[in-house]
Structures are given as C-alpha cells and as structure tokens.
Structure 1
Amino acid sequence: MAGLIVAASPATAADDGAGPSSATTLSVQVSQLSSTAGEVVVTLYPSDPRRSLAPRGKLLSLRAMAILPATRVCFNLPGPDVYAVAVYHDANANEDFDRNRVGMPVEGFGFSNDAPTRFGRPSFDAARFAVKSGENALRVKMRYQR
C-alpha cells in the first residue's frame, strides 16, 4: 500500500492518515529531530515477526515534512493488534536511508519502544506494541549516530 504525505503542526494531530478509513487509528509523534531539513519517514509493520523491519514487510508507510519540535503522522489501521514502527529522518529527501561506507547510518532513525540497536535492526519483541480499538498514540525519539 502506498502512503501519503501527512504533516501536522506540533500542537495538532494529523487529520488524514494512511490506509482505508478505520475505527482504529495510530498517531505517531517523532521528536528530537536535528533539523527541519527533508522529511521524516514512518513505517508501520504488522504482527508477523518475519515481516517486522524486513524489506517489503511493511504494512503502511508515510513521509512527512520534518517539523520541530515534533513531526506527527496518523495511520488508519486494519484493527487492534500488535505492531512495530521504524522511523528515519531523510534529511536530504533522496527517499533512501543513507549509510556510510561501513554501513553505519548517517541519518537519524528510531523505533517504537525506543528499541535498542547494536548492529542492525532491533528484534520484533523489542519494538512491538499493542493497539486497541479507537485512537492510539505513540512517541518515537529520533537518534543520530555521531
């Protein structure tokens, strides 16, 4: 499924969302961005651990203009379930998560639950969170490797 660009001011949640209209929504607030350059990409993964954070495993993805102090996007979800979220700050808006020659990220990133990373992506269990019917909110902190 293709996502659409959704941006909102820090004081209000996004009115539109990715996915068909639903009674179950998830508002994701991404904070600690280093700048307003480029876009923030928020990707939602389903409860299947094999699809979590895997190429072509996403359920929905949104790109939003980077806004300080926080960028918000909203997803319309299929229903209550367990999900995981990954975010990155596409500061140069090239639609790619840039890495250096040894594979280390050169752009900001983050995961639901502030799931820890050492080498590579976190486990699904570390990033998973439950969503109930109705409105749900999640906060993700952007991390930058220096």
Structure 2
Amino acid sequence: MKHQNERAVALILATLFLAGSASDVQSQQSNSTAKNNFELTVHVTEIKHQDGKVLIGVYNKSDGFPKELEKALLTAKTAPGKPTHTFRGLSHGNYAVVVIHDRNNNGKLDRNLLGMPKEPVGLSNYSVIGISNPPTFKTASFTLSSIESINIKLNQF
C-alpha cells in the first residue's frame, strides 16, 4: 500500500511538473509573439525622378550600415511613385534605416571616384549627408517601442 501511495504521489508530481512546463512554454511563446508585434512605416520624401526602384534597408546593428544593403535585417523595393513601405513583426530595439533611389536598377548605390553617392540616398535621423556629416549607425539609430512611422528625405548629390 505504501508503494502505491508513493507511486501515486510521484505520478501527481510528474503531471504537475509537465503541466507547469507546458504553461511556461506557452507563456514564452506569448511573450515572444508580443515582442515581435511592432511595425515601422518608412515614408520616402524628396523623390525627384520616377525611374528605377527605391531600396529600403532596416538595420539592427552597425555591421554593414549603410553601405552593404545585403547585411540589413530587412529590405524592401518600392516604386518611386509609391515610396512607402511598412515592415511588420519587429521587436523592441534600436534600428537605423537607409534608403537608396536606385535609378539604374542595378541593386546598389553607385558612387563616384571619391566614394560619394551618384544616386539619391537618405538615412533615418539625417536631413543632410555629406563629407562633414558622414553616416553612422549610432547617429542614424532610433528606438522602436511601438508602431511607428518615419520620414526619410532623399539627398541629391
């Protein structure tokens, strides 16, 4: 009888432990989903030409920013006539955005011999980009903590 009671107690404890683990997993999944429910809408302004595509890159770290679009966390292409894109499923954190008006559709920012952009480009938190104001992730970054919308002005060079 004593062994049956010990087995029953062990079975009850195991069931409670498994039920608690399952609810912890569900709680973690809910928290994970809640963390990834932010949106960032990027509106591009000062588009002077209607040729090519507008490339938008969202970075969550400095690696590759702003020159290597392939290292961006998320990217999008839009038509110059519809220069707005919404990125969904983002979590709370620091982000920086680069926008390139890829006028010749080659998928990259063309530069002159001095390394200056030959195509219009814009960055979050920058109204003017130039030799005296080179872009950095630290300056371009902002904290996303809700559903947000930003305007990025394209700079002509």
TM-score category, normalised to shorter length: 0.7 to 0.9
RMSD, matched Cα: 2.1
1:1-146, aligned counterparts within 5 Å? 22-46=36-60, 48-53=61-66, 55=68, 56-67=70-81, 71-114=83-126, 116-119=128-131, 121-133=134-146, 135-145=147-157
TM-score of the superposed pair, with normalisation by structure 1: 0.72
- Where structure 1 has 5 or more consecutive residues not aligned to the other structure, the ranges are 1-21
Going from structure 1 to structure 2, the CA distance change for 1:101 and 1:52 (only over 3 Å counts) comes to closer
Query: Larger helix proportion, structure 1 or 2?
Result: 2
Tell me the percent identity: 28
* Residue of structure 2 equivalent to 1:11: none
* Residue of structure 2 equivalent to 1:9: none
3-state SS, counterpart of residue 130 of structure 1: strand
Query: Larger RCO: Structure 1 or Structure 2 (Cα < 8 Å, ≥ 6 residues apart)?
Result: 1
- Where structure 2 has 5 or more consecutive residues not aligned to the other structure, the ranges are 1-35
Bigger Rg, which one:
2
CA-to-partner distance for each residue in 1:104-142, whole Å, 9 max, x for gaps? 211000100126533385122210111113x21010000
Number of residue equivalences: 120
Cα distance between partner residues in 1 of 2:64 and 2:110: 22
Query: Larger strand proportion, structure 1 or 2?
Result: 1
Q: Conserved in 1, the CA contact under 8 Å of 2:54 and 2:79? A: yes
TM-score of the superposed pair, with normalisation by structure 2: 0.68
